[in-house]
Structure 1
């Protein structure tokens, strides 16, 4: 479930060149997502509007309305487009080490000065935007949860976790705690916290 930080080039404003004929749909969509990512990382979620994204990408607002049901859904896809994500959860046989590596990577993403505020804004906006919430789950949380559960299931089959442990709850205890400190920053969110989460959890979940 490795995470990489936003690629600076991916979020730069697209350079639009005049040309004859209609641009291919894939090219237009990519231009819109790049323009939206630029707005998202430079100005935050409030800076993303259909009008501004369309103007920056050189397309009509109607094109955006056809592809995205809300600005939240557009912002979510733009974020996914800009952040070059490699979804993998390494299985070295050492469950504690693998969990520490994953959580440290996640903490780095959440505390990055570009990606952290964007994730926090998307999580907050999803509470009142059902379309964004669905997009966030489909593109972001569910794929990562699935990989984490699969890695924990492998550990359980090897006897590294008790058979009665609820793997979904373990995921919530680890990654949910990081989200909690992101959204309610009264305690530090750092790699020491990630390591402590793993150590505390495995002492209670180990055979």
Structure 2
């Protein structure tokens, strides 16, 4: 199966069902899963979802496990690129620059925790929506089975605020440069009316 980034192979139906049952039949693990705050999922080594906590269930408005079992994160989150290739999430040409895909693959490959920001473009009910997600991946072994904890945090508002602050400070810098330039010309004895206009306009914008 063709892929541009992550392996396309998935666990077969029988093994997937065993993996899901293994998680669900472990009361200690499931209680820990649901007690943890934030959006959390458990993936197998093929990047398929085996379980998600109550917070993520509510966030995605999912009512039963059949709606998510075996999906990959992009498919779970309705990423517009997750269905471009037969292999699904992680296999399209766009996935090589996806923060979530990079974090998941590198975490599994290097067997260490990884954190990236994912710029998610999702389609839900015919509407396109852009979200920024902080993605943390932590690999672990449970009774000899290699699994991955996937933590998701929606940071869209923080990213938008940071972008607005960047634009704001850029504008301030431009206005100050204009004021300094006009002031320097006046210091050199250039006394043109337009210099006074520049200073006045930039001062008004700064107030």
TM-score over 0.5 (shorter chain): no
Q: TM-score, normalised by structure 2?
A: 0.24
**Which one has a larger percent helix, Structure 1 or Structure 2?**
1
Question: More strand per residue: 1 or 2?
Answer: 2
> Structure 1 length normalisation: TM-score?
0.24
Asked which structure has the greater RCO (Cα within 8 Å, sep 6+), the reply is: 1
Computing the radius of gyration from Cα coordinates, the structure with the larger value is: 2
